[in-house]
Structure 1
Amino acid sequence: MTTLATLARRAHERFADRPAILSGDGWLTFADLGAAARRTANRLLTAGLRPGDRVVMALDNRPEVLIVEHALFLSGLVRVAVSSRLHGQEIATIAADCGAAAVLCEQTHAELVADRRSTLPLLRTLVAADGGAVAGSDSTLAYLVAPGASETAPDVPAPTEDEVAALMYTSGTTGQPKGAIVTHAGWLAMLRAFWAELPPSGPGDVVLHVAPMSHFGGSAGSAYTFRGAAVVPVRRFDPPRSLDLVVEHQVSVLPLVPTMLKELTAVAERRAEAGTPFRAAHLRAVPYGGSAISAQALVRAREVFGDVLYQCYGLSEALAPLTVLSAAEHRPVPSATAPARLSSAGRPVAEIELQVVDADDVPAPVGAPGEVRVRGAAVMPGYWDRPEETHEVLSADGWFRTGDLGRLEDDGYLYLVDRRREVIVSGGFNIYPSEVERAIAELDAVQEVVVVGVPHERWGEAVAAVVVTRPGFTLSDEDVVTACRERLASYKKPLYVEFATELPVSGNGKLRRREIRERYWADRARLVGE
């Protein structure tokens, strides 16, 4: 029986002398990674954690992320990786929802999580990332991975394929965080799909992590790590520096979100115009996903990076890649400035069943729009401790309703055209209107508020808030933005604030959110950001 613990141990042994991850002190080998992971696992178990307990990681890209991830796999603990850009209160809310036994977070968040400790009755250890332990924390990340603890394999029962390996948090239309369950079998299905769709990997490959390791980048990266590839983590995305690192470290794999791909393309184009074109013959795969991207942007990216682009579509509840647009499918065709297929999300991978269905769940005719639903081992068995929400999206026979609207053409390509759910995807991050609306509604001056996604050249989509103020009150754009900044991750704050005297409602008094949103998307072929 193969589990993530099995794959981690095999990698530590088979590639023992090969470089595994670049740290501040130089390269750690796979043997070093295994030893550090076992130390970390044993320290967590000594702190009172047991297999099946949830461990929240809200960390920047850093060597410790991979060490802790392998420690969790080896000890049967559950990986709950979330964005380090979340607000500390949001991290605490997720920890409370999953009953976390440990929280590992950046220094800036540790005190905020500590302040909420009374809401976390199962929390046994709070670990701050840098420097000394902050008030209310129990340890530091440096201590957790440092020499001094036992380096023998954790003395715990081996996990089974059906046990929970990870929770992938998403909020859905309610804005309330929900953990999509990923079993060991589900994560393995994701790995098999990446192995089948991306170029063969092994020792000698180098993965540069500029996209968050907590999201798509880390998922794609794990497929390479288990086959002996080395990892270079970068805490902050800086486009010029990122291009330099690709050359400096002979990077072969570069997972990205579309916003990053566009920014790297623009930097490379400027350098080419200045007489220093970007050249990286060693770069073999740039898997990207997380939001839509225009066909013309992909044409430009291919001209810079070559035949290395792989678009991967997936969700927290159904792990990427569900569909893939391969490097070959990015190639130009005669007499076309951009092949039509570049507007697609690619074709379904072998182990996934995918349908576009109408309102009655009947498969739609070829080319007709409908909701995308999928079935396969990479689909979650349900949300953590939320049977009602699970029932709403997951059928008894395993079909998951994605909430994405699309069409399947007769050549098998999937085209995504809109989202039934109201999620805003900005720079690869999911933002849920209801959570932003709640933050704004806490202002006394707000009578009504609606939040929608609007087109944005850099991020694909941006947050816009339309606010109706109470009679006799005044409110400024900055008041609205500040209210969000104080309660939410910075990327969730509105970039645009509009004031109105009233909001459109239907005959039964229901807010017509789509009517507001469509004002901003007039004359666009797709109602998703590019």
Structure 2
Amino acid sequence: MTRHISIPETNAAQTKPPVLGHPANSGHRVDINAATAVARHARFRPDSTAVVYEGGDLTYGELDDRAARLASVLADGGTSEGDRVAYLGLNSLSFLVTMLAAFRLGAIFVPINFRLAGPELESVLARSGANTIVCEEGHRAAVDAVTGHRLSLRLLVDDDPAIPTTPVTRPWIGWSALLADATPYAEIAVSDFDDPAILMFTSGTTGLPKGVVLTHGNAWWNSVNVELMLDSRPGDTTHAAAPLFHIGALNSFVLRALVRGNRIVLRRGFDPEQTLDDYARYAVGSTFAVPTMFQALARHPGFADADLSALRSVVVAGAPVPPSLIRQCAERGIQLQQAWGLTETAPFATHLPAEWTLAKTGSAGIPMPYTEVRVVDMEVGDPLPATRRGEIVVRGPNVTPGYWEDPEATDAAFDGEGWFHSGDIGYLDDDGFLFIVDRLKDMIISGGENVYPAEVERALADLPCAVDVGVVGVPDDEWGEAVVVVVAVAPGAELTLEQVREHAAKSLARYKLPRRLQIVDSLPRNASGKLDKIRMRSSLAMEES
């Protein structure tokens, strides 16, 4: 089966497999555009709070008005259906306004990782073909330094008290004056299940980021899955502190909260003390987090006494969740619900229901209601029986139709039956619960045996005095590859390789035990909270050279 995702400047139709069973195939075009939903709330509940934010809150009426005004500015600047609109900055109201304005025009929103270095930023802008960028101060210099791509309109956010600004000079234009003078764009593009909504570049921990096309239908079906599996209610408040340019933070609860008319407490970044205060002050019911965020919360002195009674739906993903953290949070009445997925699955393919948190500790859960998950043989692709380890494959309406203008990568990721090959290794237990073992590319072959770094990391997650733990393989003359553990320890603590091996031996075979130990101040992680294994291996190689 050939699948191509290449939407040229003319916005020509894509060739992609039909999404079976949704109303768009019946001849009636259903509008699932999030901008349409926000406009509806603005009409019937204009004074209801949409977003709580340190730079100033917005009601649904105000949010819709700003998005409609920005849509006019973008349209006047040449943006039309199918064009890409980029955003570069931290979590903010302007992020949401830009996204909704793009949706209103039928354009494709491109949220950019604000931690990208110059060449990476250049690559993302060039490959996305974005003709417009909305940017925060602090990032425009990086954009100015980038060449080799076209940007016909550069808007600088200059009206957010949380974002310090300097005088705006050409080619940049301060967006506040433009928004004030603009007439709200009256129309909203009708978007159905197959229309592209977001172009999101993967974090690139295993190589050059790929542009993942996510349709309005991908986002919608993920939301349906989440609502069927989690305790999500009308009128809820969700908390967003993880970076919104990552699909886990954006499409777990935030995008759906806007569609449902719920309230979002939006923070520019994660701060443990502020987060605990927010949970109590705003009676937060749901949130998405990576494990390191809840590890920081659990270590905070206020964690023991914070009012967390409203917190019902906590999805933790992006990295394996240490069992010790799951048990610690359970003692405080918080059931961490581990999920598994990728940008390509928008984001969740599996989820561990709250009632199974302790009984199936360490599991990434069961398939989402409208998503199929299999574990297959890595060589021939046949489904494997329970407990056998293989590659995890996914199929469903939440799965991307493919990679932006990259037919080779798209064809390589999907097999002839439409299964997306994740590159993750795992197994299903006898009850059908998924357990993640590791990334296929991170697997270490030591002395002819397969060693999965994530399995070693889990065994060392509760290592005394360890603040953060990562495991990689390095070339070894005797073993082919050697297992190396990299540990950030608590201030003043000391740790030896013998102590690490003794602790790991409680749950691991001897051939999996680390042969080297490196102590560091902190481990490199990307903005999604995942360990950056490329940087870890590079650092080790530099030390040896």
TM class by smaller structure = 0.7 to 0.9
Q: Is 1:497 aligned to 2:539, yes or no?
A: yes
Q: Is 1:290 aligned to 2:318, yes or no?
A: yes
Contact 2:329 2:335 in 1 (8 A): no
Question: CA-to-partner distance for each residue in 1:347-404, whole Å, 9 max, x for gaps?
Answer: 1011011110002010011110000000001111110000011111112432100000
For residues 160-309 of structure 1, what are the structure 2 equivalents within 5 Å? 160-170=192-202, 175-203=207-235, 205-215=236-246, 216-220=248-252, 221-267=254-300, 270-271=301-302, 277-304=305-332, 306-309=333-336
SS of equivalent residue, structure 1 residue 407: strand
SS of equivalent residue, structure 1 residue 410: coil
Question: Of 160, 164, 186, which residue of structure 2 is paired with 1:153?
Answer: 186
Q: Distance in 1 between matches of 2:286 and 2:205?
A: 34
Question: Of 84, 103, 108, which residue of structure 2 is paired with 1:78?
Answer: 108
In structure 1, the residue matched to 2:505 is: none
Q: Distance in 2 between matches of 1:163 and 1:38?
A: 20
In structure 2, the residue matched to 1:390 is: 410
AA aligned opposite 2:325:
A
For residues 443-522 of structure 1, what are the structure 2 equivalents within 5 Å? 456=487, 494=536, 497-498=539-540
Q: Distance in 2 between matches of 1:136 and 1:112?
A: 15
Q: Distance in 2 between matches of 1:104 and 1:395?
A: 37
Q: Is 1:376 aligned to 2:405, yes or no?
A: no
AA aligned opposite 1:10:
R
Question: CA-to-partner distance for each residue in 1:227-271, whole Å, 9 max, x for gaps?
Answer: 11111221132112221122222222222111101111121xx33
SS of equivalent residue, structure 2 residue 398: coil
Contact 2:37 2:259 in 1 (8 A): yes
Question: CA-to-partner distance for each residue in 1:140-180, whole Å, 9 max, x for gaps?
Answer: 35446x432112424x6533421211112126576222111
Contact 1:356 1:373 in 2 (8 A): yes
In structure 2, the residue matched to 1:357 is: 376
SS of equivalent residue, structure 1 residue 421: helix
In structure 1, the residue matched to 2:79 is: 49
Question: Offset at 1:346?
Answer: 0.5
SS of equivalent residue, structure 2 residue 280: helix
Q: Is 1:139 aligned to 2:166, yes or no?
A: no
AA aligned opposite 1:416:
I
The 1:451/1:13 distance shift into structure 2, 3 A limit, reads: farther
Question: Offset at 1:65?
Answer: 1.4
Q: Distance in 2 between matches of 1:245 and 1:219?
A: 20
Question: Offset at 1:126?
Answer: 1.9
In structure 1, the residue matched to 2:36 is: 6
Contact 2:340 2:350 in 1 (8 A): yes
Which of 34-43 and 193-202 deviates more? 193-202
Question: Of 101, 107, 116, which residue of structure 1 is paired with 2:137?
Answer: 107
Q: How many residues align?
A: 439
Contact 1:393 1:400 in 2 (8 A): yes
Q: Distance in 1 between matches of 2:175 and 2:89?
A: 10
SS of equivalent residue, structure 1 residue 16: coil
Contact 2:242 2:270 in 1 (8 A): yes
Q: Distance in 2 between matches of 1:142 and 1:298?
A: 45
Q: Distance in 1 between matches of 2:367 and 2:431?
A: 11
Q: Distance in 2 between matches of 1:89 and 1:73?
A: 28
Contact 1:88 1:109 in 2 (8 A): no
The 1:502/1:83 distance shift into structure 2, 3 A limit, reads: closer
AA aligned opposite 2:31:
T
**TM-score under structure 2 normalisation?**
0.73
Contact 2:315 2:338 in 1 (8 A): yes
Question: Offset at 1:502?
Answer: 8.1
Q: Distance in 1 between matches of 2:400 and 2:482?
A: 29
SS of equivalent residue, structure 1 residue 31: helix
Q: Distance in 2 between matches of 1:400 and 1:68?
A: 30
The 1:342/1:133 distance shift into structure 2, 3 A limit, reads: farther
In structure 1, the residue matched to 2:51 is: 21
Which of 169-178 and 234-243 deviates more? 169-178
Contact 2:373 2:395 in 1 (8 A): yes
* Structure 2 spans left out of the alignment, 5+ residues: 1-29, 158-162, 444-452, 458-469, 473-480, 491-517
Which of 250-259 and 10-19 deviates more? 10-19
Question: CA-to-partner distance for each residue in 1:107-153, whole Å, 9 max, x for gaps?
Answer: 22212212324x113x2112234524655542235446x43211242
For residues 419-438 of structure 1, what are the structure 2 equivalents within 5 Å? 419-422=439-442
AA aligned opposite 1:278:
A
AA aligned opposite 1:55:
V
Question: Offset at 1:192?
Answer: 1.0
Q: Distance in 2 between matches of 1:170 and 1:350?
A: 25
Q: Distance in 1 between matches of 2:42 and 2:338?
A: 30
Q: Distance in 2 between matches of 1:104 and 1:351?
A: 35
Q: Distance in 1 between matches of 2:41 and 2:489?
A: 39
AA aligned opposite 1:498:
L
**TM-score under structure 1 normalisation?**
0.75
Contact 1:54 1:78 in 2 (8 A): yes
Question: Of 341, 364, 367, which residue of structure 2 is paired with 1:314?
Answer: 341
Q: Distance in 2 between matches of 1:158 and 1:31?
A: 20
AA aligned opposite 2:81:
P
AA aligned opposite 1:138:
W
Q: Is 1:40 aligned to 2:70, yes or no?
A: yes
The 1:451/1:91 distance shift into structure 2, 3 A limit, reads: farther
SS of equivalent residue, structure 2 residue 288: coil
SS of equivalent residue, structure 1 residue 263: helix
Question: Offset at 1:102?
Answer: 1.3
Contact 1:169 1:180 in 2 (8 A): yes
Contact 1:194 1:223 in 2 (8 A): no
Q: Distance in 1 between matches of 2:167 and 2:408?
A: 40
Q: Distance in 1 between matches of 2:77 and 2:210?
A: 26
Question: Offset at 1:454?
Answer: 5.1
The 1:342/1:455 distance shift into structure 2, 3 A limit, reads: farther
Contact 2:92 2:267 in 1 (8 A): yes
